[in-house]
Amino acid sequence: MKEIYEKMGLFYLGKDAEDDSLTLNKSKHLTTHAIIIGMTGSGKTGLGIDLIEEAAIDNIPVLVIDPKGDMGNLCLAFPEMKPEDFKPWIDESTAQAKGMSVDELAEKTAKMWKEGIESFHQDLDRVKRYAEVDKTIYTPGSTAGVSVNILGSFEAPGEEVVDDVDLFASLINSSVSSILSLIGIDADPVSSKEHLLISNIFYYFWSKGQSLSLEELIGYITNPPFEKIGVMPLKTFYPQKERLELAMKFNNVLSSVGFSTWISGEPLDIGKMLYDKNGKAKIAIFSIAHLSDNERMFFVTLLLNRFISWMRRQRGSSSLKAMLYMDEIFGYFPPSKNPPSKEPMLLLLKQARAFGIGVVLSTQNPVDIDYKGLSNIGTWFVGKLQTKQDIEKVVDSLSDGEDKKEVAEKIANLKGRHFYLKNVHEDDVREFYTRWVLSYLKGPMTKDDIRRLMKDKKTEVQETPAVTKTSDSDGGMKPIVSKKIKEYFNDTNINSDDPFYPYIYANAKVRFYNQKRGIDFEEEFDYKLELYEGMNTIDWEEAVEERPTNLSRKYKSSAKFAKLPEIVENATSLKEFERKLKDYLYHNKKIELFACKKLKMESKLGESEEDFRAKVDGVLKDKKEAEIEKIEKKYKTKFERLQDKLQRLEIKLEKEKSDVSSKTTDTLLDIGMGILGALFGRKSSAVTKGASALKKGGRIVKEKRDVEAVEMQIEEVKEDIKNLKEELEAEIEKIEEKYDPSNYEIESVSIKPRRSDVSVEDIALLWEK
């Protein structure tokens, strides 16, 4: 029976508290978002992990924001349930407190976990399927897990965002607010000079599709690329001296000892973090328990904004395509304040559904969540609550005609792992208890725990080659070069006595044109090629893509300069450098598109392979879900007919033998009813009661012929339900095979520039220190 709900877009969450039938929830219902509410010890973390495990098994990627450190447990899945798998995660003091050795407790834990999983109709094969899903713990601002390059670049959003005026403004506002929070400034977007200045800088570059690094931002704060803010001259609105003070605050962040951990590691590329190159879903866990409050707010806001930018590039979908889970929303989405994270979170709750993205939030205190956000949430999981305020916040949505005092009392007395489930797509409110998680729950992850888990996953950060300094370390007079060679000076360290070092700087444009695909796109490149003593060849592959922020044609007379290689000092011009650069761009630059001919789909300009595969996967999921909807209609009438027949037979059996309880329906029928009920909706509580009554009476041998006849009919109905299930399974098997992504080949299509479409706009000798 497990094979059915695994294939029908259903999440297995646990068992009904009344009759132990399976609690199943359609995954597509989570596109209207969900919230898990419950006090400490209610089982919120376990339910959250259940949801994430179900998504991963169904090839739905999940981005997890983990402020407390609990969600790293998602990485502890042991398919073979060996004691030695559990042993490294058993705390010695815990074992001693139980009067056991670590080995004994590991053996006991492994046995308990295996039995717990199997008690909920799960097997080790299911654990294996989940364990095979790629999981990464990212630790921004720390090297404990996989580092993330957060401040290396404030990536420009795509055209989809820029063209949406309100969204673009929202993205800039929250980004700037989060950046200013790094230096302790709580800025108002309308009245704060700091906010307005940096907002205008972001608008200037992002509207052109240009990303910004923190170094570039600091440079543009002191030297903005515009003369006015609004109608006021820049020097009146924000004098140079004040701008320099603001730049210095950011420079202090840049120069701090711990800053290197914010600019090293993997780029914050949401698509690559959620999908591998084969389109397989991944779980990306962002552990932020080690950060300060300001750093957490900065990172969460930046991450949400980056997630929105990725989301807006996705194709619309009615099925669940990806999930964002936040383990504790307190402080990030309050009702009365406006922290930087609030605006992007509200935007996600309003817009994500259209893209097949589900947001799941968890909290101990529902009163600390903005009511506008709660109004956009369709599924509520409510566990035990104790404070009057918290209970009053949720009681209205759960009462469903019942006495509110009685409902409030039930909420206050719920057992651990028990939750009320209210889904706007269903008519009833039901109590269930969560299934046993597939992951081992050891408790909060320490930095050492994360370091052990991620040891093999950490990517080696490529170090930038050191500048090859000349033997004259103190520098000397400026070398004389041909008048035909343009020179720029970029003094990034004004108070330093270091010499200027030489580079060739070039700005080039490459046009990509393809009439058939309607592509006419020009890309701009900025390169710095290091010059060193003894250099005798020109190789632009050694250049770095970098745009200097403060180019000047002047320098101080007291400045010192490193030596130039003869290849430049003796040159009459930089024509050879220019020619080599054009050749390099012509041979190496191309636009790569991706195509799936079977679906007649082709990627958009700038769309990554991971994003395109995700789009293909979304189309396949939508097609699969559409065909499953047809199957639902096909089987619904049959299912209801069997329900009615079963109820009539139950009544008849009770009349014929009222003193004998019915126990004919076995576990298979319970599970089958749970699955079909989840698909077609619960008809009435009488069905559940009928199934429960039959379960109690089916094995008692009846002597009377009329009772035997009814029992025989009941057996026939059971057989019909079983056959219905097998037919359904067979049809779904065909659909699964039909829409398996492995049957849909992704091809690469390259568009190269013409030689005439490669131009070097500017090339100069750059002196930089």
What CATH number has the domain bearing residue 112?
A: 3.40.50.300
pTM listed for this prediction: 0.80
Question: Does 60 lie in the same domain as 20?
Answer: yes
| Residue 596, in any domain of the structure | no
Domain total in the chain: 4
- Could you tell me if 635 and 732 lie in one domain? yes
Is 82 a domain residue? Answer: yes
**Would you state the pLDDT for residue 700?**
44
Considering the domain architecture, whether residues 242 and 167 belong to the same structural domain is answered as yes
* Residue 691 pLDDT > 50: no
pLDDT tens digit sequence for 335-349: 988 999 999 999 999
Residue 491, in any domain of the structure: no
Split at pLDDT 50, 70, 90, the class of 459 is: low
- Tell me whether residue 436 is in a domain: yes
- My answer on whether 173 and 299 are in the same domain is no
Confidence band, pLDDT 50/70/90 cuts, at residue 690: very low
| Within a domain: 443 | yes
Span 302-310, mean pLDDT?
A: 93
Q: What percent of the chain has pLDDT over 90?
A: 62
Instruction: Please indicate, yes or no, whether residues 384 and 284 belong to a single structural domain of this protein.
Output: yes
DSSP 416-480: TTEEEEEETTSS-EEEEEEPPPSS----SPPHHHHHHHTTTTPPPPPPPPPP---S-TT-BSPPP
Residues 286 and 248 in one domain: no
At CB < 8 A and 24+ separation, what contacts does 624-632 make?
A: 624/735, 624/736, 624/738, 624/739, 625/9, 625/28, 625/318, 625/319, 627/735, 627/738, 628/8, 628/9, 628/732, 628/735, 631/728, 631/731, 631/732, 631/735, 632/679, 632/680
How is residue 572 written in tokens? 């009459």
Q: Which of 329-338, 641-650, 752-761 has the lowest mean pLDDT?
A: 641-650
CA angle 141-142-144, nearest 5°?
155
Residue 300 burial (10 A CB sphere; 0-12, 13-18, 19+)? buried
Please tell me the predicted confidence (pLDDT) of residue 503.
Answer: 96
Closest CA to 408 of 425, 426, 393: 393
For residues 585-608, average pLDDT: 93
Last residue in a domain, options 416, 447, 464:
464
* Same domain flag for 125 and 174: no
- 407 and 443: one domain? yes
Asked if residue 411 and residue 311 are part of one domain, the reply reads yes
Q: Which domain holds residue 546?
A: 503-590+753-768
Q: Report d(CA 71, CA 62) in Å as an integer.
A: 12
Structural domain includes residue 454 = yes
pLDDT in tens, 474-532: 568 889 999 999 999 988 776 677 899 999 999 999 999 999 999 999 999 999 999 98
Asked whether residue 144 falls in the same domain as residue 74, the answer is yes
- 642-686: pLDDT as tens digits: 888 888 888 888 877 764 444 444 555 555 666 666 766 655 444
Provide the pLDDT for residue 232. Answer: 93
User: How confident is the model over 373-419, as pLDDT tens digits?
Assistant: 999 999 999 999 989 989 988 988 787 667 888 899 999 999 999 99
Are 172 and 316 contained in the same domain? no
Same domain, 107 and 172: no
Average pLDDT taken over every residue of the chain: 88
Of 19-33, 576-590, 728-742, minimum mean pLDDT range: 728-742
pLDDT at 704: 59
What are the residues whose beta carbons fall under 8 Å from the beta carbon of 294, sequence distance 6 or more? 181, 182, 184
User: Per the domain annotation, does 274 fall within a domain?
Assistant: no
- 243 part of a folded domain: yes
pLDDT at 715 over 80: yes
